[in-house]
Amino acid sequence: MTVHVDKVADAAYIRLVEGIVFESEEVGRGVVLDWSEEGKLLAIELLEVSKNIPGAAFSSIDIQTA
């Protein structure tokens, strides 16, 4: 998994697995899911993060695994 944060674009792209994006689907305001042709979820894109996620800050990202 990779996370790309673009402060200028105010967006975050979370790539779950590698693959070719066949279809993108906006499932909510500023939330886009990227799907493969086989229907596997490849990525999640968060747009206008500062507007859509109260208190969001790109200055620190905490990734936790279980």
The answer as to whether 66 is a domain residue is: no
For the cut 90, the answer to whether the pLDDT of residue 51 exceeds it is: no
25, part of any domain: yes
pLDDT(13) > 80: yes
Q: Which band of pLDDT confidence, cut at 50, 70 and 90, is reported for residue 8? A: confident
- Residue range of the domain that includes 23: 2-51
In the chain, count of helices (H) and strands (E)?
1, 5
Q: Please report whether residue 19 resides in a domain.
A: yes
Distances from the Cα of 37 to the Cα of 17, 21, 29, angstroms:
14, 7, 24
Q: What is the pTM of this model?
A: 0.81
pLDDT at 37 over 80: yes
